[in-house]
Amino acid sequence: MDSLVYYLVPTLLVVGTVLFMEWFAAWSHEHIMHGWGWRWHKSHHEPHDETLEKNDLYAVIFAAFAVSLFWIGSNWFWPLWWIAIGISIYGVLYFFMHDGLVHQRWPFKYVPRKGYLKRVYQAHRLHHAVEGRDGCVSFGFVYAEPVDKLVSQLQRNKRKLDPEALQDEEERALTE
Ligand SMILES: [Zn+2]
Ligand SMILES: [Zn+2]
């Protein structure tokens, strides 16, 4: 019975938190960052030469939240410590997939040519295929829907936004 508490519960807390974080990140990306939080997120959707973006403040908030959970967890309520581990693991995955793989914010260039990483890469390129905050697709960072599904969703969104000018931005986004 003891081993259940020592191994199973922490494992479930960590795995559950990582899964929840992908859902929560996608949800807040769509409804907060592309909504009332656009002021910070806008910096991520505009071309620029600076190393940092105002959008990085969102990562700082998540990190500060995780740090406070580590603190509460180690002093008063241990399950929170494992939840903080899950949030931290998600942070690393987010950095690897989004900042690294898609936006090349690391000192080398690697573009995935096949498999799931390619799918995540292309899906997020499609997220950036629309100018501005409206009509975007694919708000997740670690999970991505199949690319053809996203392309047709993007075309529907664009037709709704601007029925006149149907450009092939999505194709450009995929071949870049
Ligand atoms: Zn966005
Ligand atoms: Zn991005």
Residue-wise pLDDT tens digits, 2-35 = 777 789 999 999 999 999 999 999 999 999 999 9
Q: Domain containing 157: what range? A: 112-176
Q: Of the bound ligands, which one is closest to the alpha carbon of residue 124?
A: 2
Judge if 63 and 128 occupy the same domain: no
Q: pTM here? A: 0.86
Minimum-distance ligand to the CA of 123?
A: 2
Please check the confidence at residue 176 and state whether its pLDDT lies above 70.
Answer: no
Do residues 27 and 77 share a domain? yes
Which numbered ligand comes closest to the C-alpha of 41? Answer: 1
Same domain as 36, residue 48:
yes
Taking only the tens place, the pLDDT of each residue in 116-162 is: 999 999 999 999 988 888 889 999 999 999 999 999 988 988 888 77
Ligand nearest to the CA of 53: 2
In this structure, the answer to whether residues 121 and 102 fall within a common structural domain is no
Q: Whose CA is closest to 116, among 101, 103, 126?
A: 101
Q: Do residues 53 and 26 share a domain? A: yes
Ligand 1 centroid – CA 147 distance (Å): 17
Question: Ligand nearest 42 Cα, by number?
Answer: 1
Asked whether residue 166 carries a pLDDT value surpassing 70, the answer given is: no
Q: Which ligand is nearest to the CA of 102?
A: 2
CA 166 / ligand 1 centre spacing (Å)? 21
Ligand 1 geometric centre to CA of 34 (Å):
6
